[in-house]
Amino acid sequence: MDILQTIQNLREELNLHNHNYYVLDAPTISDLEFDQKLKQLQALENQHPEYFDENSPTQRVGGTITKNFQTVAHDYRMYSLDNSYSKEDLIDWENRIQKVLGNVEIEYTCELKYDGASISITYENGKLKCAVTRGDGFQGDDVTNNIKTIRSIPLKLKGNNYPEKFDIRGEIILPLAGFEKMNQELIEIGETPYSNPRNTASGSLKLQDSTEVAKRPLDCLLYFLIGNNLPFLSQYDGLQTAKSWGFKVPNEARLAHSLDEVFAFIDHWDTHRHKLPYETDGVVIKVNRFQYQEELGYTAKSPRWAIAYKFKSEQVSTILNSISYQVGRTGAITPVANLKPVQLAGTIVKRASLHNADQIEKLDIRVGDTVFVEKGGEIIPKIIAVDLTQRPENTEPTQYITHCPECQTELVRTEGEANHYCPNFYGCPPQIIGRIQHYISRKAMDIEGLGGETVTLLFNNNLVHNYADLYELTVEQVLPLERMAQKSAENLVNGIENSKKIPFENVLYALGIRYVGETVAKKLAKHYKNIDALQQASLMDLILVDEIGDRIASSVIEFFENEENQRIINRLKAYGIQFEIVEKINPNATQKLVGKTFVVSGVFSIYSRDGLKEAIEDNGGKVGSSISAKTDYVIAGENMGPAKLEKANQLKIPIITEHDFIQLLNDAEH
């Protein structure tokens, strides 16, 4: 079979598996098999850039940088929806409709109103062409590269009855579980968590680096098609057809034959919506038949044939019993409100998050107050206001704690930061335990046989005081711990032993340096290659690394300057932890570019930026970060920076395109 055919078969296969996994939620192969096929395709595409396809499943990992999003006009305007808040509002709406249509029987499609950011995606000849945000309804931002990373959005359609060109509209959402997980990771590295899924979803669309978007667990729920020659005559059939083309259309939509059936739909979802994996803020009711929709037309802002019914956001009032303060792994203090237990959105709420001192001050919240609690996107509900009319007499404003509740050290608050910190990093129990728990976690050292609770036990029993101590543990020492048996004790010690094989980038993340999350750890590991080089890097060096800012750089410096950390790292070295990157061996590597240094600038169409850098390195060349006399070539894509251009011209360094680069590779000997 020829290469192109192999590539095309792989693409088709991967598209199908993506659909099974992300749209149907019914995968038919393992993640491992999927990854292997994807890698195989990626390798073939790298070797054969002439078969590049912007809609290949390999493009989903991102890799493009967009500095400015282009403004694009919508072919069809994106309207808003009128809102309604009661059944009376809906009866009025139906009366208005009947005035126009006469006394015909009207069917309605009832859908959930997904709470995210709206998007319009254009397909041409069955392929994703571009994706544009709503903007002002007439024109929006072209966010195609970011949208393509969302796995549930088909890059190629299934079936064959789609028109040549059409737009499909939907909502980009961040499912609750994914949102919660993202926040957990932020909290772990000492960052402030996101406030709600909707804003995070819409913010994600405008990230400049599509690789970052690819990492976010975004999803897209579709609800509306528009274009010429659509092969259906009603909204409901449109939804079913979109589904058959491979789009993710939620199954909850129903056809209602009367307003009473609409009301039943609303009543059902008013209570059941909290069980959905994503947030909704209402129901959208649409006149089903296109013929009637056309007769009804539009007002200045919205269709007359559709209306949103907004759920009342669920709120209850209860009493604030006390405020407690938690100390995190990085020393950050989080105040928590302890409430008189109350029923809210199907669960009993006892605690609510209070974020930080500013918020307590802003709300002027006091123990004994009656407070309003609301359930938003987070699992932990929020306090939105204090009912001042219910305030008991003689209350005092809340005094934020000045000392750590766990170790009594005086707290600090850095200028410009929202949180107070306990600076006793090496003596404050929750910080010590938290750091070890982070060290053993799945994305860090992935230590099997050891869980968070056991870490607490080990610490409380004076067996470990830092993560290096783990490597000294013996079966005899852990055996007496609660719920330990011979087998589990052996597993624990073996699990720790096995972590010596974990690659450097994970180790770097595991160290728990503030602001060094997974991505940053990877970048640093790739750049410095080993811990000694990283340890010796100056602040300036660090800032020059792609995407490492001031804040991260200072935190890295501070970490390595600390003597306790140095001692721990030396011990880890002695135990045989990986402190060096193991270069992956590429079977297609050549020596064609040995001795040549390239600087890459701008946005490319054949390669992703990282892909291009990889191609240079795989062929023996070097990638420089800035243009100097040592640079042999500048590979320029679209939007190359003017400063770089000037510098290259000044130094008379040849500026080539990615096509020239491919030519260069083809012409080179060896």
The footprint of ligand AMP (CB under 6 A) covers 80-81, 111, 113-114, 118, 134, 171, 223-224, 284, 308
Selected catalytic residue, list 37, 87, 99, 113: 113
Which backbone phi and psi does 196 adopt, to 5 degrees?
-155, 160
Q: Dihedral sign, CA of 599, 605, 610, 616?
A: negative
Q: Which residue is nearest to ligand AMP (CB)?
A: 118
Q: At what angle do helices 31-47 and 3-18 cross, to 10 degrees?
A: 150
What is the smallest separation between the CB atom of 435 and Zn ion, expressed in angstroms? Answer: 13
User: Please, what is the minimum distance in Å from the beta carbon of residue 81 to ligand AMP?
Assistant: 4
Nearer to ligand AMP, 239 or 569 (CB): 239
- Give the up-direction half-sphere exposure of residue 458: CA atoms within 13 A in the CB hemisphere: 32
Q: Which of positions 38-97 make contact with Zn ion (CB under 5 A)?
A: none
Non-local CB neighbours of 22 within 8 Å, separated by 6+ positions: 151, 152, 219, 248
Q: Which is nearer to ligand AMP, 53 or 107 (CB)?
A: 107
Residue 323 and residue 354 in contact, taking contact as beta carbons nearer than 8 Å: yes
Give me the least distance between CB of 379 and ligand AMP, in Å please: 23
**Least separation in angstroms between CB 399 and ligand AMP:** 41
In the list Zn ion, ligand AMP, none, the entry touching 114 (Cβ below 5 to 8 angstroms by class) is: ligand AMP
For ligand AMP, the closer of residues 198 and 329 by Cβ is 198
| Degrees to nearest 5, angle at CA 552 with 550 and 556 | 115
Distance CA 445, CA 518 (A): 12
Shortest CB 411 distance to Zn ion, Å: 8
Per partner kind, with CB cut-offs from 5 to 8 A, the member of Zn ion, ligand AMP, none near residue 404 is Zn ion
Question: Whose Cβ is closer to ligand AMP: residue 81's or residue 534's?
Answer: 81
Rounded CA separation 531/533 (Å): 5
CA distance 331 to 190: 8
> What is the 8-class DSSP label of residue 342?
E
Q: Tell me how far, at minimum, the Cβ of 303 lies from ligand AMP, in Å.
A: 9
Q: How far apart are CA 558 and CA 562, in angstroms?
A: 6
Q: Which residues of 282-308 are buried (b: 16+ CB within 10 A; e: fewer)?
A: bbbbbbbbbebbebbeeeeebbbbbbb
Closer residue to Zn ion in complex, CB, 19/514: 514
Rounded alpha-carbon distances, angstroms, from residue 52 to 45, 55, 129, 608: 7, 9, 16, 11
337 makes contact, choosing from Zn ion, ligand AMP, none, with CB < 5 to 8 Å by partner type, with none
The 394-433 contact track toward Zn ion, x by CB under 5 A, reads: ----------x-xx-x------------x-x---x-----
- Return the ∠ at Cα 311 (arms to 261 and 135), rounded to 5°: 110
Query: Which of ligand AMP, Zn ion, none sits in contact with 171, Cβ below 5 to 8 A by type?
Result: ligand AMP
350 noted as active-site residue? no
User: Pick from ligand AMP, Zn ion, none: which does 406 bind, CB < 5 to 8 A by kind?
Assistant: Zn ion
* Closer to ligand AMP by Cβ: residue 178 or 282: 282
User: Which residues fall within 8 angstroms of residue 296, CB to CB, at 6 or more apart?
Assistant: 97, 100, 101, 287, 303, 304, 305
DSSP alpha helix (H) spans, 576-633: 609-618
Minimum distance, C-beta of residue 335 to Zn ion, in the bound complex (Å)? 15
616 interacts with, out of Zn ion, ligand AMP, none, CB within 5 to 8 A per kind: none
> For ligand AMP, which is the closer residue by CB, 283 or 458?
283
Contact call for residues 521 and 501 (beta carbons, < 8 A): no
Q: What minimum distance in Å lies between the beta carbon of 484 and ligand AMP?
A: 52
Q: What angle do CA 213, 219, 221 make, to 5 degrees?
A: 140
What are the helix (H) ranges across 245-324? 259-272, 290-296
- Could you tell which of ligand AMP, Zn ion, none binds residue 661, using a CB distance below 5 to 8 A set by kind? none
Task: Choose between 171 and 219: whose C-beta lies nearer to ligand AMP.
Answer: 171
Question: Is the Cβ–Cβ distance between 496 and 447 less than 8 Å?
Answer: yes
Nearer to ligand AMP, 114 or 123 (CB): 114
Closer by beta carbon to ligand AMP, 179 or else 305 = 305
Query: What are φ and ψ of residue 111, in 5° steps?
Result: -130, 160
- The whole-angstrom distance between residue 489's C-alpha and the CA centroid of its chain comes to 37
SS3 labels along 153-165: CCCECCCCCCCCE
Minimum distance from residue 344 beta carbon to ligand AMP (Å) = 24
Say which entry of Zn ion, ligand AMP, none residue 428 contacts (CB below 5 to 8 A, set by partner kind). Answer: Zn ion
Number of residues that bind Zn ion (CB under 5 A): 7
- Report the alpha-carbon angle 124-152-603, nearest 5: 65
Indicate which of ligand AMP, Zn ion, none lies near residue 422 (CB less than 5 to 8 Å, by partner kind): Zn ion
For the bound state, the minimum distance from the C-beta of residue 327 to Zn ion, rounded and expressed in Å, comes to 6
> What is the per-residue DSSP string for 22-41?
IISS--SS-HHHHHHHHHHH
Pick what 407 binds: Zn ion, ligand AMP, none; C-beta below 5 to 8 Å, kind-dependent.
Answer: Zn ion
User: Which residues belong to the active site?
Assistant: 113
- Where does this chain bind Zn ion (CB under 5 A)? 404, 406-407, 409, 422, 424, 428
